[in-house]
Structure 1
Amino acid sequence: MAASADEMFLIEARLLTESLEAGLLDMQERPGDKGLIDSVFRDLHTLKGSGAMFGHAELAHFLHDFETAFETVREGKLSVSPPLVKLGLRACDHAVSLLDGGPPGPGAALLDELRALVSGELPQGAGRPWRLSFRLAPDCLVLGARPQALLDELRQLGADEIEPILDDLPELADLIADRLYIGWRMTLPPDLTEEAIREVFVFNDEGLALDLAREGASPDTRPPGEEAGPVAPAGGGARDRAMMRVPAERLDELMDRVGELVIAEARLAELVAADGNPNLVAVSEEIKRLASGMRETTMSIRMTPIETITGRFRRLVHDLNDQLGKTIALVVEGEETELDKTVIELLADPLLHMIRNSADHGLEDAASRLAMGKPATGTIRLSARYSGAEVAITLADDGRGLDLARIRAKAVARGLIPVDADLDEAAIRALILQPGFSTAESVTELSGRGVGMDVVRRTVDQLRGSVEVDSEPGHGTRIRMRLPLTLAIIDGLLVEIGGERYSIPLAAVEHIIELPREQARNSNGMRFLNVRGQLVPFLRMRDLLASTGDPGPFQKVVVVTAGELRVGLTVDRIIGSSQTVIKQLSPLHSALKTFSGATVLGDGSVALILDVPQLVAFGQARDSMEAA
């Protein structure tokens, strides 16, 4: 179902508020960046205009004064300052509230603060008249342009000292009657805004060359309607590509259709292989190629960079600096790393909780940090990188670290573990992920109810990922999550174990080797293989899955990886690679950690998808137990 015009406006408006918020935060770090100031002004202007067009009069009225204030910033009359940025962020919040149907009342107080801030600034460019020179496109007369009408409109604005620019005037014999060779220069009153002057040329901007500046300043040669900003990379920057917004539901529906197509293509391949008709084989191969291309294209559409959610984290840290009285810096690495949009959507809240916890519990105040020989500014570092079939997302801080004794005591007090529980350091650190766990002495607006890290654990479990906590007292805490790249379609390696077929994510497969006969015969023998000079533990999947019957004489070992860890999985037979459409397990079977889902094969049967991170963790745990 197509979205209404108002729904499309709300989508666009929320994107504009996100861009506006990001621009304000950047402007605080780079107050002298004129391109950045123009970008913020453009977002304000567009949001105001769109709001007025779609009946959001309160929004348009509220943003008008803020747009005027930022116009004075563009002109150099008002300097960028932390109070102005904070006021802009509050205005952005109020704009979001108005879009959601909130009351307009709070906007009046914000406008009063804005007027007081503007009036308290010393004018830096007031009193200086504008100098304007322009040339219309040489063929503008053919297209119906009327230079005299433009000059009359400029005179109405107060233009004075108007004179022609005759530098390009050719000899009389070379004149072409319908070609414009001259331009004009003039002076305009100082109280005019740049926007008012540029609006004169709004219908004559094609091929226009325009210089506009205050007397004594460098001219601004941008065409009307084009705001200054970061230059897009040559050959395909974001401004060079046409963009179209599509509702997320349509992408989900398209992904479902592509998934069904992949299953149908596999079924067709099975039938063609049984028939053996060479003509059908050629057609089947062509359909397979097209289906694969459609799958790759659809998957690329669904993939979203991490940077789409990092803007809200920057705003959170900005606000936490004031709330906590600390100086905190957020460093983000790997913002271009892409995940499935569903993963991105579910990831935002857990990361917010983690950043809030790091700021509140992990980082010390400036005085304490200086006394410990640390920089006064605490750092929270968010990084993302690809790791095989997964994405590793790490949040680390350089704060006080975890107090293991205190964590254990709180866990005992809350009944999470018995008093005599024998836990190693990793298990104690993992207790902070338990529901209801908190070491805070009192409940505050930020923390203390023990629900933040529980959200992290539940979300990671829902995404079939893993989370681990590491900490060093006095040097900080690191939380690492490993998440699948996508929850839709993957390349899989189809294997047979005990007469049943299973799929292993192909991106996690490192090697396939034959199981040595002496180890195949002795099921209780050493469970390690020498793989290229390294000992790798392996799991006998027949035992793990309780398969009946005798294994084949030529068992294979599929060596899989999850991050830096490796484990071998013994299988009876390698069937081949295939495109695997992931189907979620029912709630009844979702607790089976060995499997991450199921897929429908070409013959209509179902194959379970092995959960590689869980199997690797199981293998490593058993390795540690045997070593002990």
Structure 2
Amino acid sequence: MDVQEEAYKAEACELLTELEASLLELEEYPEDMELIGRVFRAMHTIKGSGAMFGFDAIAAFTHNVETVFDLVREGKVRVTKELINLTLSAGDHIRDLLESEEEGDALREEEIIRAFRELIPEPESPGEACPAELSQEDEDVPVPAGALTSYRIRFRPDPGIFAGGTNPIHLIDELRELGECSVVAHTDKIPPLSEMDPESCYVFWDIVLTTDQAENAIRDVFIFVEDECELVIGRIDDDAAEERIGEILLKRGDLSEEDLDKALKRQNLLGEILVAEKVTSQAAVSSALMEQDAARKQISRRKEEALATSIRVSADKLDDLVDLVGELVIAQARLSQKAIAANDVDLVSIAEEIEMLTGSLRDNAMGMRMLQIGTTFSTFRRLVRDLSAELGKKIELTTSGEETELDKTVIGHLKDPLVHILRNSIDHGIELPDERQGAGKKPFGTIHLAAEHSGGNVLIRISDDGQGLNPEAIRQKALEKGLILPDADLTDKEINNLIFAPGFSTASQVSDISGRGVGMDVVKKSIEQLRGTIDVDSTPGVGTTITLKLPLTLAIIEGLLVTLGEGFFIFPLTAVEECVELPPDEAARETRFLSIRGELVPYIRLREEYAVDAAKPDLEQVVVMEASGQRVGVVVDSVVGSQQAVIKKMGSAFKNAPDISGATILGNGSVALIVDVNKLLDSKL
């Protein structure tokens, strides 16, 4: 598949996402003409670009949807729930056609097309006026439906139109399909071959089209290049047959009244006339011309800047760039260490400059990987809408913090866990309308998605105002499955966290939505694979909030470098609270609690966990971190300091080391293992 086809697929997927969001909003505001126009433009662009790049099946299918929404724009078809459902199904089918190399489900396509055609009303009587087909400049003159009308069209593309992958000839060919078409190309602006830019368009066209279509149909041909061209459409009156050439040129804007008078009277230029008659000075005329020229150049600059504001880059190329930056960070660390060891002032200065440049390059490369999470949030509106309707519930999805940015890799792995959580909230959390009213609540429930930055992490909260978790039911189910002992003394928070146990479910029956006992276990594993944590907080009868804590990126992290024997380990700096010395008398005690400013903090010895036999130092260090809302200390031999860690994947030899999430290469060439703090400490709490 060539680059243009890949570009079309990427653009079409973005348009389908925008289409879905617009349709869900249109369902709430069916009279909003701006939303109707947005839906129509998305469909028209998918159709037009599809035909241009060889996706004929998509273009042909989308044409049926576009036709109906053109009638919606004209007020001939109403926006109903049936139309919204049908258009959403059409969007799903287009997405299937994009993802599949085959023609897709022909039977499903036929059913959708038949349903759309049933929405098209019967044609009006030939003599009845059709207000929707009036042109903008002749609204006082009704045009009979189906009557042939001639239009003059001036299509002047911007010089940079080719950069967007648009071929103007295809647009003119599409005009020919609307009726009898005559075309004149203006080629006088084409420069000599030596001065020509092959990527610029120097030609514009005048077109005379005789058609039974309305002016809107003509404008729709140019709808996805309307910002990249000058387009003028006017209806040709019968009087044009008696008009002189000069009058026609004047009406089309190809000739000004002054130029016409000059040609007719063979007079000098206006400026020369005014100076000759001593009405004004030559300097004043020159100044006015200079101002006019400056204004034109300013407009030209703005157009050029508008064409060069963004560029689409392949995700694979971006990943390669980040990998190279990671290797550069490692090489820079080696250079800095070598410069310090050599005690060379000039070399140290160069190393510091390279370190600064590398840091800037790293931040820019990581910034390019960041995406706003709002795009992911918007995809869940359809899920909530469909599932709530299936269950007979009324649920509203609200969001906040959509502008929060997160690494694209994290966002890519985040969708499935969020789907699991939302499905559980819809099925188990939100009650039926009658139940809610009986509990003194509003009949419709609310699910709120929120995102915010917290240090080097992002917090995502999924809250609902449903019935909340039932601690007693959870405890009883945990006893039945042998997850806890009958005499276990657990807090409500500890009981709530049992929902993340493998195979746990309180559903009384299995449904297509939830209740199979795999959802929340999958969620926890997925979040832990992203080096994140998950926490649940629930109040019976009030609602439930699930909080996901995720790192900003999975490529490069700030870590705390520690030693253990002859080995090096790194703790993510976002999990570290402080470092203290382990008193010698504490080292001899069997109890594993350390008093830090009056607070007892449990600790574990990393030497015992990793079976390190090397000699123990006289003074050990304790790195205090947080896990599951509790402070825990980890005893290490020494703390080296902060370290930028470029994360490398581990080989199969470490598949049985669940608390090691990766490795990095230090400046001296040694390998340091990155500790998964959550898994390490959760197993000990």
Task: Describe the shift of the 1:498–1:249 C-alpha distance in structure 2 as closer, same or farther (beyond 3 A).
Answer: same
> Are 2:358 and 1:281 equivalent residues in the alignment?
no
Which residue of structure 1 lines up, in the alignment, with residue 112 of structure 2? 110
Instruction: Write the deviation string for residues 470-517 of structure 1: whole angstroms up to 9, x where unpaired.
Output: 2222122222222222111012233445564333333445555x5496
CA distance in 1, matches of 2:16, 2:223: 28
Supply the distance in 1 between the matched residues of 2:322 and 2:677 (Cα, whole angstroms): 24
Does the alignment pair 1:466 with 2:569? no
Match of 2:214 in 1: 192
Is the deviation greater in 517-526 or in 568-577?
A: 517-526
Distance 1:478 1:273, change over 3 A: same
1:334 to 386, 394, 401: 401
Q: Aligned residue for 2:469?
A: 402
Contact 1:387 1:562 in 2 (8 A): no
Distance apart, 1:398 and its partner CA: 1.3
Which residue, 628, 645, 649 being the options, matches 1:580? Answer: 645
Looking at structure 2, the residues matched to 415 and 616 of structure 1 have their Cα atoms a distance apart, in angstroms, of: 23
Shift of the alpha carbon at 1:209?
8.7
Q: 2:310 aligns with which of 243, 259, 280?
A: 243
Counterpart in the other structure of 2:90: 91
CA distance in 2, matches of 1:564, 1:212: 70
Structure number with greater CO (CA < 8 Å, separation at least 6) is 1
In the TM superposition, what are the counterparts of 1:525-536 in structure 2 within 5 Å? 527-530=594-597, 535=599
Q: 2:547 aligns with which of 480, 502, 505?
A: 480
- Give how far 1:63 is off: 1.0
**Post-superposition CA distance 1:304-333 (Å, at most 9, x none):** 221232222111011112211110111122
The reply on whether 1:266 has 2:288 as its aligned counterpart is no
What's the CA shift for 1:89? 0.9
Query: 2:586–2:594: 8 Å Cα contact kept in structure 1?
Result: no
Q: Which residue of 2 aligns with 1:39?
A: 38
Equivalent residue number for residue 602 of structure 1: 667
Q: Secondary structure at the match of 2:379?
A: helix
8 Å Cα contact 1:136-1:207 kept in structure 2: no
Q: 1:23-172 alignment to 2 at 5 Å?
A: 23-99=22-98, 100=100, 101=102, 102-119=104-121, 126=131, 129-132=134-137
Write the distance in 2 (CA, Å) between the matches of 1:489 and 1:129.
60
Q: How far off is 1:454 after superposition?
A: 2.3
Q: Distance in 2 between matches of 1:201 and 1:389?
A: 43
In structure 2, the residue corresponding to 1:478 is in which secondary structure?
strand
1:379 to partner: Cα distance? 1.1
Give the number of equivalent residue pairs.
Answer: 555
Q: 3-state SS of the aligned residue for 2:570?
A: strand
Give the whole-Å Cα distance in 2 for the aligned partners of 1:361 and 1:124: 56
Q: In the alignment, what sits opposite 2:572?
A: 505
Query: Paired residue for 1:374?
Result: 441
The answer on whether the counterparts of 2:569 and 2:673 sit within 8 Å (CA) in structure 1 is yes
What is the aligned-residue RMSD (CA, Å)?
A: 4.3
Q: Please report how far the alpha carbon of residue 374 of structure 1 lies from its aligned counterpart in structure 2 after TM superposition.
A: 0.6
Unaligned runs of 5+ in 2: 139-151, 159-171, 181-209, 236-301
- What one-letter code is carried by the residue in structure 1 that aligns with 2:601? P
Number of the residue aligned with 2:277: none
Q: Please, which of 351, 367, 370 is the counterpart of residue 418 of structure 2?
A: 351
In 1, are the aligned partners of 2:44 and 2:223 still within 8 Å (CA)?
no
- Gaps in structure 1 of 5+ consecutive residues: 141-149, 159-187, 214-234, 622-628
Identity in percent: 41
- Tell me the SS of whatever aligns to 1:395: strand
Moved more, 534-543 or 595-604: 534-543
Q: What is the Cα deviation at residue 349 of structure 1? A: 0.8
**Residue 240 and residue 40 in structure 1: after superposition, are their counterparts in 2 closer, same or farther (change >3 A)?**
farther
Aligned to 2:497: 430
User: Equivalents in 2 of 1:210, 1:535: separation in Å?
Assistant: 77
Aligned residue identity for 2:107: G
Higher Cα radius of gyration: 2
Displacement of 1:598 after TM fit?
2.3
Q: 1:281 to 1:79 in 2, by over 3 A?
A: same
What is the TM-score when the length of structure 1 is the normalising length?
0.76
CA distance in 1, matches of 2:521, 2:44: 42
3-state DSSP of counterpart to 1:314: helix
Give me the whole-angstrom Cα distance separating, in 2, the residues matched to 1:263 and 1:200: 51
> Helix, strand or coil for the counterpart of 1:105?
helix
- Which whole-Å CA distance do the structure 1 matches of 2:418 and 2:222 have between them? 48
How far the C-alpha of 1:427 sits from its partner, in A, is 3.7
- Contact 1:529/1:538 (<8 A) preserved: no
Q: Counterparts of 1:57 and 1:203 in 2: how far apart (Å)?
A: 20
Tell me if structure 2 keeps the 8 A contact 1:596–1:610.
Answer: yes
Which is helix-richer, 1 or 2? 2
Contact persistence 1:599–1:606 (CA under 8 A): yes
The SS at the match of 1:603 is coil
| One-letter code aligned to 2:54 | G
Query: Equivalent residue of 1:132, what SS?
Result: coil
1:292 aligns with 2:359: yes
2:500 and 2:350 map into 1 onto residues whose CA distance is 53
Change in 2 beyond 3 A, CA 1:520/1:272: farther
Deviation at 1:74, TM superposition (A): 2.9
Q: How far off is 1:30 after superposition?
A: 3.6
Report the 3-state secondary structure (helix = DSSP H, G, I; strand = E; otherwise coil) of the residue aligned with 2:571.
strand
The 3 A distance-change label for structure 1 pair 348 and 204 is: closer
1:79 Cα shift? 3.8
Cα drift, residue 208 of structure 1: 5.1
CA distance in 2, matches of 1:98, 1:527: 62
Q: Is this contact kept in 1: 2:557–2:646, CA < 8 A? A: yes
Distance in 2 (CA, whole Å) between partners of 1:587 and 1:367 is 54
* TM-score, reference length from structure 2: 0.70
Distance in 1 (alpha carbons) for counterparts of 2:384 and 2:129: 32
Query: Corresponding residue for 2:378?
Result: 311
Per the TM alignment, residue 587 of structure 1 is displaced from its structure 2 partner at its CA by 5.0
Q: Which residue type is aligned with residue 67 of structure 1? A: E
Secondary structure class of the residue paired with 2:569: strand
Shift in Å, 1:266: 1.2
